[in-house]
């Protein structure tokens, strides 16, 4: 889908790839990935484990060569100029990489020497101040909590002043406050013109991205702003509150027009893709006493579950057809 969302991005294209494919043996890990990301955007990759998020990110930063397709990252060809790409990209993996028996400052100084930075000491001081690590600079990395380890990993990524950050599920296992602080830092970096690609499982983090895309079975199913992604699926959601909701949920799951039933606090969200069919199917239940119904806006979680169900149905149909041949 065409995207035209709000955000700090300017007119400069940072990532522009078309038809990227990657196989690992018989596993087609990424299928025809086409993506455009502009300077200063935070683009979120969402999808379950094994969906192709990490493989996509690694192809974009030159760590993996695609089997087919073409494109550029930071103006460099993703096939022939991988070394140039790596010099301008900060990559933060799911597992924070550092030496636990060194202090925060020693870890960063070591990384600065690996990059051959002539002004390494000044860069380290700048990173410590920028990410609020200065008061802990002499603390051993192995003694840090998950949130502070995350800050150290981000500081290491920023030492060489990259133009693009690729973050692979960077907030996994981090407490809510540390996650919020981390995202505030990402938006500050984006405001300075740094582009961020981040993979995440969290819906609240997806909503913090300027643009996002959902990957399943190696295919990018939808992309755009959160509002565009939600609107693209034309879902209808009703919220119902009142008595005996568990029994009602079981009844709702037996109705063909109902695609999803999910508990939200003291209410249920009931979602379907055919607005009229859903309303007609729910009408008898709405006339029952003791409950209150109201139509609400579907959320990203509703959209992604809908996309997952559609993709699962397509895979099942393909497997059935293949078995008959």
Per-residue burial over 65-85, b = 16 or more CB atoms within 10 Å of its CB, e = otherwise: ebeebebbbbebebeebbeeb
Q: Is residue 112, in this structure, part of any structural domain at all?
A: no
- CATH number of the domain bearing residue 246: 3.30.70.250
Taking the C-alpha atoms of residue 73 and residue 61, their distance in angstroms, rounded to an integer, is: 7
262's CB contacts (< 8 A; 6+ apart) are 268, 269, 271, 301, 302, 305
Are 75 and 10 members of one domain?
Answer: yes
| Percent of the chain predicted with pLDDT > 70 | 91
Domain count, the chain: 2
Which of residues 323 and 178 earns the better pLDDT score? 178
pLDDT digit string (tens) for 183-198?
Answer: 999 999 999 999 999 9
Average pLDDT, the chain: 89
pLDDT digit string (tens) for 204-263?
Answer: 889 999 999 999 999 999 999 999 999 999 999 999 999 899 999 999 999 999 999 999
Q: Is residue 133, in this structure, part of any structural domain at all?
A: no
- CATH number of the domain bearing residue 55: 3.40.50.300
Q: What is the mean pLDDT of residues 91-114?
A: 88
Are 212 and 248 members of one domain?
Answer: no
Taking the C-alpha atoms of residue 198 and residue 90, their distance in angstroms, rounded to an integer, is: 12
Q: Are 5 and 224 in contact (CB under 8 A)?
A: yes
305's CB contacts (< 8 A; 6+ apart) are 260, 262, 271
Q: Give me the pLDDT at residue 61, please.
A: 84
| Percent of the chain predicted with pLDDT > 90 | 68
pLDDT digit string (tens) for 278-314?
Answer: 999 999 999 999 999 999 999 998 998 898 887 765 5
pLDDT at 324 over 60: no
Are 244 and 303 members of one domain?
Answer: yes
Are 12 and 48 members of one domain?
Answer: yes
Q: What is the mean pLDDT of residues 43-61?
A: 90
Q: Is residue 157, in this structure, part of any structural domain at all?
A: no
Are 79 and 166 members of one domain?
Answer: yes
pLDDT at 31 over 90: yes
* Nearest residue to 195 via CA among 74, 277, 104, 94: 74
Are 289 and 195 members of one domain?
Answer: no
Q: Is residue 13, in this structure, part of any structural domain at all?
A: yes
Are 308 and 166 members of one domain?
Answer: no
Q: Give me the pLDDT at residue 314, please.
A: 53
pLDDT digit string (tens) for 268-281?
Answer: 999 999 999 999 99
- Could you tell me the residue range of the domain that residue 246 belongs to? 233-324
Q: Is residue 293, in this structure, part of any structural domain at all?
A: yes
Are 204 and 64 members of one domain?
Answer: yes
Q: Give me the pLDDT at residue 322, please.
A: 46
Q: Give me the pLDDT at residue 200, please.
A: 86
pLDDT band at 96 (very low <50, low <70, confident <90, very high): low
pLDDT at 35 over 80: yes
Q: Is residue 269, in this structure, part of any structural domain at all?
A: yes
Are 241 and 210 members of one domain?
Answer: no
pLDDT at 323 over 90: no
Q: Is residue 263, in this structure, part of any structural domain at all?
A: yes
């Amino acid at each position: 889908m065409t995207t035209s969302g709000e955000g700090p991005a300017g007119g400069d294209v940072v990532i522009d790839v078309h038809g990227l494919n990657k196989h690992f043996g018989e596993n087609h890990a990424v299928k025809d990935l086409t993506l455009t990301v502009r300077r200063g955007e935070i683009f979120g990759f969402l999808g379950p484990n094994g969906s192709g998020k990490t493989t996509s990110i690694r192809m974009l930063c030159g760590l993996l060569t695609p089997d087919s397709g073409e494109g550029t990252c930071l103006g460099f060809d993703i096939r022939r100029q991988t070394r140039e790409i790596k010099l301008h990209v900060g990559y933060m993996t799911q597992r924070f990489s550092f030496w636990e028996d060194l202090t925060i400052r020693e870890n960063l100084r070591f990384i600065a020497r690996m990059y051959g930075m002539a002004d390494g000491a000044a860069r380290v001081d700048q990173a410590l101040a920028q990410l609020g690590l200065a008061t802990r600079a002499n603390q051993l990395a192995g003694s840090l909590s998950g949130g502070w380890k995350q800050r150290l990993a981000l500081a290491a990524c920023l030492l060489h002043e990259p133009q693009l950050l690729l973050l692979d599920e960077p907030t996994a296992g981090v407490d809510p406050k540390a996650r919020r602080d981390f995202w505030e830092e990402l938006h500050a970096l984006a405001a300075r013109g740094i582009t961020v690609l981040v993979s995440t499982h969290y819906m609240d983090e997806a909503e913090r991205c300027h643009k996002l895309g959902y990957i399943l079975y190696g295919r990018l199913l939808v992309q755009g702003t959160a509002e565009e992604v939600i609107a693209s699926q034309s879902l209808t959601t009703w919220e119902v509150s009142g008595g005996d909701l568990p029994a009602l949920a079981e009844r709702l799951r037996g109705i063909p027009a109902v695609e999803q039933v999910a508990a939200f606090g003291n209410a249920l969200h009931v979602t379907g893709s055919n607005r009229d069919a859903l309303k007609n199917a729910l009408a008898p239940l709405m006339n029952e006493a003791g409950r209150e119904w109201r139509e609400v806006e579907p959320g990203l979680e509703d959209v992604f579950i809908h996309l997952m169900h559609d993709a699962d149905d397509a895979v099942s149909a393909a497997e059935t057809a293949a078995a008959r041949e």
